[in-house]
Amino acid sequence: MTTGPADPIEARLLGPDALAELADAWDDLAGRALDPNPFLSPAFGRARLHHLPDGRAARLLVAWSRSGGRRRLVGLSVLVPPRGRHFTPCRILRSAQLYAPVSTPLVAPEAPVETISAMLGALRRAGFGGLALPFLARHGAVAAALREAAEREALPLVVLDEHERAFLRSPLGGAEYLRTAIDRRRRREADRQRRRLAELGTLTFSVASEPDDVTAALERFLALEAAGWKGQGGTAIAHADGAAPFFREAAFEGARTGAFRVATLALDDRPVAAGLLAIAGRHAAYIKTAYDEEMARFSPGLLLTLDLTAHLLDDPAIDEADSLAVAGHPMIDRIWTGRLPIESVLVGTRPGRPLAFAVAKAVERNRERAIDLAKALRRRQA
């Protein structure tokens, strides 16, 4: 990887109370980062630190460059201790991933390898022997810089898991894409379900983007999700510790800068499906979907996703969208035909110490398997 002339870079591991120190610097870095991460926007990041259980234990890993007496933020990640009690001689931190299956740190385009090296050095000085990034875009610029930084300093780096998830990027407009990406039989069935649903009232699709509209649409989403199987199982946002305040703050503050939207499919004034979107630059992330289970025979979640797909492709401000879905998702994989390779990476902060790192690697690999098993069980219940 080619990097520019490196100004002196200082990295530190800070507590959540350091938010005030970052101020506008976080916004500046989020707007020019090498790889987008909607969940490290200031709106999402600050909301996490304010409300979520993992935010209460979070640390901010930040890097600053100095040039001509001017200091500029060039690296940032929100990290948390691993959940559960596992003895390991190699202490690690993980990227915060609750409701945020993207682990890519924000790294400025100037000297990214040096920035990542400085960030790993800050972890080493704080007594941490490893950094786990469970959802890293395998072919992204940050992943390449991380590998080069590890190679330069002879740091151990292992890939714990690899998979691909549905991704949307196409030069086609929305209507043409849907005609070509979805086979005729499925398209005809979706059209039939839409016609049957429309017989019950006026069917409308809308995307809320202004703060007040987003706030109202989010409340409808939360009610819709809580009324379904997630509510019954206690996994809906409305029932999770700190989750509703987190999303309310992230949505309102994000909408003020165009970083959060809510898509809704409504029958007259009744929402039958809704989806949450986070935006970073020209990149969108499809966070969550909820639907009215009384209308399940019409597949409202599918109809919403079809409308949203066309909307995103027709939006001149959006180039691509990440589904954030599990590999092989039965619905979105058939609509978004692109694939985004994802890897779970563990990188050491010290050369050598092979036994300590091997133990940490085994613990993290077991953690990944447990998470995969939990997801599979939830999909069976859905």
87, pLDDT greater than 70: no
pLDDT tier, 21 (very low <50, low <70, confident <90, very high otherwise)? confident
Query: In this structure, are residues 230 and 378 in contact, taking their beta carbons and an 8 Å threshold?
Result: no
Q: What pLDDT score was predicted for residue 171?
A: 97
Q: Which residue has the higher pLDDT, 89 or 282?
A: 282
Whole-angstrom distance, CA of residue 255 vs CA of residue 197: 31
Residue 331 in domain: no
Judgement on whether residues 205 and 278 belong to the same structural domain of the protein: yes
Residue 3 in domain: no
Which CATH number belongs to the domain containing residue 79 in this structure?
Answer: 3.40.630.30
The DSSP line for 193-236 is: HHHHHHTTS-EEEEEE-SHHHHHHHHHHHHHHHHTSHHHHHT-S
Q: What pLDDT score was predicted for residue 363?
A: 65
pLDDT tier, 358 (very low <50, low <70, confident <90, very high otherwise)? low
Q: What pLDDT score was predicted for residue 379?
A: 47
Judgement on whether residues 53 and 146 belong to the same structural domain of the protein: yes
Judgement on whether residues 153 and 56 belong to the same structural domain of the protein: yes
Judgement on whether residues 114 and 262 belong to the same structural domain of the protein: no
Judgement on whether residues 16 and 103 belong to the same structural domain of the protein: yes
Which residues touch 35 (CB under 8 Å, ≥6 apart)? Answer: 104, 107, 137, 140, 141, 142
Mean pLDDT is lowest, of 67-71, 231-235, 294-298, 352-356, for: 352-356
Residue 117 in domain: yes
Judgement on whether residues 240 and 280 belong to the same structural domain of the protein: yes
Judgement on whether residues 136 and 221 belong to the same structural domain of the protein: no
Residue 329 in domain: no
Residue 323 in domain: no
Judgement on whether residues 35 and 87 belong to the same structural domain of the protein: yes
Full domain range(s) for residue 69: 9-165+340-381
The number of distinct structural domains making up the chain is 2
Residue 335 in domain: no
Residue 14: helix, strand or coil by DSSP?
strand
Q: Which residue has the higher pLDDT, 141 or 24?
A: 141
Burial track 315-336 (b if 16+ CB lie within 10 A, e otherwise): beebbbbbbbbbeebeebbebb
Judgement on whether residues 146 and 179 belong to the same structural domain of the protein: no
Give the predicted TM-score (pTM) of the model: 0.89
To 10 degrees, what angle do helices 174-181 and 300-314 make? 130
Residue 1 in domain: no
Judgement on whether residues 128 and 226 belong to the same structural domain of the protein: no
| CA nearest neighbour of 322 among 75, 137, 97, 183 | 137
pLDDT tier, 124 (very low <50, low <70, confident <90, very high otherwise)? very high
Judgement on whether residues 178 and 277 belong to the same structural domain of the protein: yes
Whole-angstrom distance, CA of residue 76 vs CA of residue 115: 10
If you count DSSP H runs as helices and E runs as strands, how many of each does the chain have, helices first? 13, 13
Last residue of a domain, one of 318, 352, 371: 318
| CA nearest neighbour of 362 among 89, 146, 79, 77 | 89
Residue 283 in domain: yes
Judgement on whether residues 197 and 156 belong to the same structural domain of the protein: no
Q: What is the pLDDT of residues 166-185, one digit of tens each?
A: 999 999 999 999 999 999 99
Over residues 226-231, mean pLDDT: 93
| CA nearest neighbour of 188 among 198, 178, 200 | 178
6, pLDDT greater than 90: no
